[in-house]
Amino acid sequence: MFYLGSQKLRDPQQQDEDRTRQQEVTITDWQAHFAQLAKQTREKRLQAFYRAGVVDAQTPLKDVPLLALDVETTGLNPRKNSIVSLGMLPMTLNRIRCSEAKHWIVNPLSGLNNESVAIHGITHSAIKKAPDLEVVLDDLLETFRGHVLVVHHRGIERPFLDVAIKTRLGEGLQFPVIDTMELEARLHRQKALSWWKRLLGQKPASIRLADSRARYGLPWYRPHHALNDALATAELLQAQIAYRFSPDTPISELWV
C-alpha cells in the first residue's frame, strides 16, 4: 500500500492477492497432508479422493498429472455467493486434452444477480433446469482425483469449492494448485513501484489472465466462460514453463 500524504493509492488486485496469502496455511508436503486427511475425514467420497493421493513434492513437472480449472460465480465472497459454472481440462506441459473437457452449469444456492449475469452471461433461464452442484459432485471428485489443479487466482477456485462442498457434505475440500497468477506475481510484483513512479502515474504490471497471456504472445479468448478460461489458463502455464522454468522443475517449486 502506498501513501501520499493522507491519500492511499491502492492496487485492488494486489490487496486481493495479499488477503489470499494471509488466509492460507502453507503446505509443503501435500502427499503427507493427503494421507493425514484420508485418516481424518469421515465422508466416504472425500476419503476416496484423499486416499487416491497426489504426487511426491520432488516429481518433475513433466510427470505431474495436471487439470486446468475455472469456476464462474455469482460474486466474490464464497460465504455469500455461489458457483454457477465449472470448466476443466486435463493437460500436460505438452498437450491439452480438449476431447476430455468438462463443463457444467449448476444452479447457485445464492441465486443470480444482475452484476454477475453481465459478467459471465449465464442467465436465469440457463440455470432454470440446471442441477445443483451435488448432482455432479461424484464426477467432479473423480475428475480431480490424482491431479494437481491449475488455476488463475486460487482465491476464487479453492475457497468457493471448499465452502460449496462443506455445505453439501459437511466437510470441505483441500487440494494443491499451481496458480498462474501467482507465477506472474513472482516476476512482476516482487518489488513494489517506487513512490516516484507511482506519482508519475505508473502502475504495477497487470497479472490478470488476458494481460498475462498477452505478454507471452497468446491469443485473446472471450473471458468469463469457465471452459474458455480453463483453456486460457492451461495455455498460460505451458508458456510460463517454456519461458521461465523447466520440465524438470520439481512440482514443489510451483504448487501452493
- Average pLDDT on 196-211 reads 80
Predicted local distance difference test score (pLDDT) of residue 52: 97
14 part of a folded domain: no
Domain count, the chain: 1
Q: Could you write out the DSSP letters of every residue in 178-239?
A: EEHHHHHHHHHSSSPPPHHHHHTT--PPP-SHHHHHHHTTPPP--SS-HHHHHHHHHHHHHH
7 part of a folded domain: no
As a whole number, the mean pLDDT across the chain is 89
Percent of the chain predicted with pLDDT > 90 = 78
Cell of 188: 512482476
114 part of a folded domain: yes
149 part of a folded domain: yes
What CATH number does the domain containing 164 carry?
A: 3.30.420.10
The kind and range of the H/E element at 167 are: helix 154-169
Q: What is the pLDDT of residues 57-82, one digit of tens each?
A: 999 999 999 999 999 999 999 999 99
147 part of a folded domain: yes
Predicted local distance difference test score (pLDDT) of residue 57: 97
Predicted local distance difference test score (pLDDT) of residue 116: 87
List Cβ neighbours of 104 (8 Å cut-off, separation of 6 or more).
Answer: 85, 86, 131, 136
| Residue range of the domain that includes 232 | 27-253
34 part of a folded domain: yes
9 part of a folded domain: no
pTM (whole model) above 0.85: yes
44 part of a folded domain: yes
